[in-house]
Structure 1
Amino acid sequence: MKKKYQDNKINRIKDTLSEVLGLSNHDIYSIDPIGGMTNKNFKVNIKNENYILRIPGNGTKEMISRYSEKYNNLIVNKLEIDTNMLYFNEENGLKVSKYINNAETITPKTAKREDNMKLITNILKKLHNSNVKFNNEFDVFSKIEEYEILLKKYNGKNFDDYTLVKGKVTKLKQILEQIGVESVPCHNDTVPENFVKDNERLYLVDWEYSGMNDPMWDLAAHSLESGFLESEEELFLSLYFEGRIEDRYKKKILIYKICQDFLWSIWTNIKEAKGDNFGTYGEYRYNRAKINLKKITN
């Protein structure tokens, strides 16, 4: 029964690819799932060429602007930061892009290597200093409000002390404004797994959450998601800044870590209200936000 379900699923994917790319089903040699948190991703072999097929996951239509993603993705393609797109449907989010052959996906473990840190900081500086303009803003405090509305719509539940913690997170906006907030093109989801390298270069993939934002958000996200120790984060930041890191940047990075944990905990609750299961992921991030809040308020 399970095999029949999988076969039907693969056949539906083949039919979809054939339709959007103008192919015969016989041109599609294989389709293999390769995971993903927000979406379902597949490695697809078409006429002995490999591609990545991205099928949007539960609840993403209201959480992500595919129009903005496509617009921004085309920009970064010109900057030669990501792989080229073969197809992108801005209505339903279906995307087909070139697969990176002989690739190494960065992991939290390999992100701690200095050679990989150099590659990652270089590509982030290239993006942040590019002077290009994405067509949308990524503002975490607006996102929090948007996600709350979606959570309520899907009858999801927030944490018991959510209102209290949200009040503390919201006050961080004033601190950020006092320090000074920049607005540059940012990826906004710099988990290690979104950095992929081959023998020639490093790629930064998956631009769903991209938008104009403070560059410290990208640094905070990568440090947080890589699980950097204090010494590792210090090295990572020194490579990005090419020397000493000012205290104001360190403070912004800590604030953005709190905001990210808080925001993605709500994101998790929305996804679970739509049928996904992330175990203790959301609760872990929420509790870590509370721990880091004490570092700001104390």
Structure 2
Amino acid sequence: MDKKSKKIPITKIGGLNNSNYLIELQDEKYVLRIPSSDNTNNFYSEHDILSLIKHYSISPEILYHNKDNGILLSKYMESSKFNLEFYNSTTFINTLVNTLKKLHNLECTTYFNPFNEIYNNISFLNSVNFIFNHDINLLITKLKDLEIKLCNKIHYGLCHNDLNTSNILSANNFIYLIDFEFSGMGDIFFDLATISWFLKDEIQDYLIKKYFGYFDIELKEKLKDYLYVVKLWNATWSYKKSIDSKSDYDYRLGGNMILDDLINY
């Protein structure tokens, strides 16, 4: 080995479902994503979606993606740090909607049905005798009622389906999205509701008006209904992860906190 060679700086930068590393090489920065051993997502679908969106400035430039194991290398993008004030600003909503509409107008062959995902998660949890701290049957009864109601009119598009703040980057007056492991065709209200989780009521109204060009009570009611679906999906996913995750994050506690909110929704 050349004695003059230098170590490549590598820094772990977090992640729950994956391990992410910042790599510095020849004055350039990159992000390496390595899925955790318990990550069972469909990386073939993610590969197709990454290929689909690469010309639309939706995500940082992808340099490599392995569709068999999900290992991904992308260019690093410096993002402004999020706080609730910025998250609840019209500036954030304006730039976010521009990105979301580009994504939602695309089509792929992968489908994401949050109702089926929740039912499957609960079926799995029951099969391993998972003990719920809440009346899960009561929550599922409400979900089934919402499924009938919400499936009557679907606003169809390619959705990200995991728009937590760790998957949103704010840079150069644009919003970029990362981690498309759950992405697929579905109702765009799943994305809008995920965003709305920590939005003030008046900013939720602004999001609706900015996205659709108008505001009405029917759209607001649908947003609230889908927020229930989003939260229940996140809770059941967290419970499922809690069974064999090696992460320091307490997935069971996270799921319980969500259901504490939903039980009186």
The 5 A counterparts of 1:131-210 are: 132-152=106-126, 156-178=130-152, 180-199=153-172, 201-210=174-183
- State how 1:87-166 maps to structure 2 within 5 Å: 87-101=64-78, 103-128=79-104, 130=105, 132-152=106-126, 156-166=130-140
Which residue, out of 46, 51, 57, partners 1:69? 46
Does 2:220 match 1:250? Answer: yes
Q: Residue type of the partner of 2:11?
A: D
Contact 2:160 2:191 (8 Å CA) reproduced: yes
Query: What is the aligned partner in structure 1 of residue 255 from structure 2?
Result: 282
Unaligned runs of 5+ in 2: none
Deviation at 1:160, TM superposition (A): 4.3
The aligned counterpart of 1:216 is 189
1:45-84 maps to which residues of 2 (within 5 A)?
45-61=24-40, 64-84=41-61
Distance 1:171 1:28 in 2: 58
Counterpart secondary structure, 1:202: strand
After superposition, the CA RMSD in angstroms is 2.1
**Higher mean Cα deviation, 76-85 or 150-159?**
150-159
1:4-23, Cα deviation, whole Å (9 max, x unpaired): xxxxxxxxxxxxxxxxxxxx
Alpha-carbon distance, 1:282 to partner: 0.8
With normalisation by structure 1, the TM-score equals 0.79
Normalised TM-score (structure 2): 0.88
Counterparts of 1:159 and 1:137, CA distance in 2? 31
Aligned to 1:229: 200
The 3-state SS of whatever aligns with 1:269 is helix
Question: How far, CA to CA, are the matches of 1:54 and 1:217 in structure 2?
Answer: 25
Which amino acid is 1:109 matched to? Answer: E
Measured against aligned partners, the alpha-carbon deviations of 1:66-93 in whole angstroms (never above 9, x if no partner) come to 1111111111112221112111111211
Contact 2:242 2:252 in 1 (8 A): no
Question: Once the two structures are superposed, what CA deviation does each residue of 1:26-57 show, in whole Å capped at 9, x if it has no partner?
Answer: 67611111112222211112333211111113
CA contact (8 A) 1:43 1:99 kept: yes
Measured in 2, the distance between the counterparts of 1:49 and 1:122 equals 28
- Cα distance in 1 for partners of 2:127, 2:194 equals 28
3-state SS, counterpart of residue 189 of structure 2: helix
Distance change >3 Å, CA 246–CA 77, structure 1 → 2: same
Identity %: 26
Deviation at 1:182, TM superposition (A): 2.5
Q: Which runs of 4+ in 1 moved over 3 A?
A: 105-109, 149-160
- Give 5+ residue unaligned stretches, structure 1: 1-25, 293-298
Distance 1:58 1:155 in 2: 23
Q: Distance in 2 between matches of 1:114 and 1:121?
A: 10
User: By how many angstroms is 1:124 displaced?
Assistant: 1.1
User: Number of residues paired by the alignment?
Assistant: 258
Larger helix proportion of the pair: 1
Q: Which moved more, 1:37-46 or 1:151-160?
A: 151-160
Counterpart residue identity of residue 175, structure 1:
K
